[in-house]
Structure 1
Amino acid sequence: MLFSLRKNEWFGNLRVDFLSGLVVAFALIPEAIGFSIIAGVDPMIGLYASFTMAVVIAFIGGRPAMISAATGAMALLVVDLVKDHGLQYLLATTIVTGIFQLVFGYLGIAKLMRFIPRSVMIGFVNALAILIFTAQLTQFKNANWVMYAMVGVSLLILYGLPKFF
């Protein structure tokens, strides 16, 4: 009985699950590479880490609005850690961060988020965007025209396409 219930839960909506997994995978690849570059580690490490996080969270079970991939905030924080102490400390830091998240989740700390003003959250996200943008500026040095064309087309799609759809 229990196995058949889990089987229906796991294989109940294969088409939608497959398509959503494909979308997440396509979004995760450039994100993992970009955050790896920001963090100062080899992009393959970022891809392996993102894949591992996605597989673990698939078996443990996620929640709505749960972050189960690399984030810009973490990438910006670990830059100095990797520079000063090396890649070994990055693994230890990631494990300790996961333990803190589990403890905070168990204690229900997320309920305290409602006390943080919206303006503080918007300021945090905007500052994070500015820091990520400035970290990417080094990629523009000595680049050829193809990269600038791709940036221009990307910005055109981002800002132009929503006006039509």
Structure 2
Amino acid sequence: MFNFANYRAEWVRNVRGDVLSGLVVAMALVPEAIAFSIIAGVDPKVGLYASVVIAIVISIFGGRPAMISAATAATAVLMGSLVREHGFDYLIAATLLAGVVQIGAGYLKLHTVMRFVSKSVMTGFVNALAILIFLAQLPELIGVPWMTYPLVGLALAIIYLFPRLTRAVPSPLVAIVVLALIVYFGGLDVHLVGDMGELPTALPSLFLPNVPLTHFERRQHRQGCAEVPQEWS
């Protein structure tokens, strides 16, 4: 039986540690949310909004006190082709459907099937995912100003070498801050995240995805997506 007193005591037991952990996780999620949005082919604010919502939901309904959920590269890579071919509404519909499937899998206890998956299969999956992520990033390095390449090298160096100094601050966040300062004060001519879309300044409005349910509607929707470019509001 649910006991609100015990639940409240668990939440306020370590407020200082929870606040510090929340700040660190939030700083680490900002660059990840932007990067995965680019991989998925959507506006960066979509990833930022989604990270906020899922973090709040999991903090209330999650099964582990120290667990944080956010966007993953695996889903970002898969959603890229979906957004390109069908539009943003299909991304929302696919996300809702994935949630329903996960809830059903949980009730059916299908997680026990993972015991029969070999380690070599998981190793191959992870390595294939790394290759797909690398290939998804290649278009961002083609036809760009030449100053982009040394900045990419500097960012990689910071990400991999900064943890040797300290792990108190996420290295991807340090890379973003350092490179942003270099580009801003140096007046470098490179493509910016703002060129892909405006970052959020207000909360989004709720809406239902416009996904056709019949074959005829799907054909009309697909023709409309081909004729009208996607705009993120």
What letter matches 2:145 in structure 1? A
User: Greater CA deviation, 63-72 or 41-50?
Assistant: 63-72
Q: Which runs of 5+ in 1 are unaligned?
A: none
Aligned length: 163
Deviations 1:84-121 (A, max 9, x none): 21111111110110111111112211121121111110
1:42-87 deviation line (CA, Å, top 9, x unaligned): 0111111111111111111243896721111111111121112111
* SS of equivalent residue, structure 1 residue 70: coil
Q: Which moved more, 1:98-107 or 1:61-70?
A: 61-70
- Paired-residue identity, %: 55
Q: Give distance in 2, aligned partners of 1:122 and 1:65.
A: 26
Are the structure 2 counterparts of residues 63 and 5 from structure 1 closer, same or farther at C-alpha, using a change threshold of 3 Å? closer
Q: Deviations over 1:114-155 (max 9, x none)?
A: 21111110111111111111111222231342x433432343
**What is aligned with 1:54?**
55
Aligned residue number for residue 80 of structure 2:
79
State the SS of the aligned residue for 1:114: helix
Distance 1:94 1:81 in 2: 11
Match for residue 17 of structure 2?
Answer: 16
Could you tell me which residue of structure 2 aligns to residue 143 of structure 1? 145
- State the match for 2:129 in structure 1: 128
Give me the whole-angstrom Cα distance separating, in 2, the residues matched to 1:163 and 1:3. Answer: 43
Q: Distance in 2 between matches of 1:89 and 1:100?
A: 16
Task: Work out which of the two has the higher radius of gyration on C-alpha atoms and give 1 or 2.
Answer: 2
How far did 1:16 drift?
Answer: 1.5
Distance 1:59 1:161, change over 3 A: closer
**For the residues of structure 2 that align with 1:162 and 1:35, how far apart are their CA atoms?**
22
Against the structure 1 CA distance between its residues 162 and 20, is the aligned structure 2 distance closer, same or farther, given a 3 Å change threshold?
Answer: closer
Give the TM-score normalised by the residue count of structure 1.
0.86
Structure 1 runs of 4+ aligned residues shifted over 6 Å read: 64-67, 162-165
**Alpha-carbon distance in 2 for matches of 1:64, 1:124:** 28
Structure 2 residue aligned with 1:68? 69
Q: Structure 2, unaligned stretches of length 5 or more?
A: 167-233
Cα distance in structure 2, aligned partners of 1:163 and 1:35:
25
**Bigger helix share:** 1
Partner of 1:105: 106
Distance 2:40 2:48 in 1: 13
Q: Which amino acid aligns with 1:24?
A: V
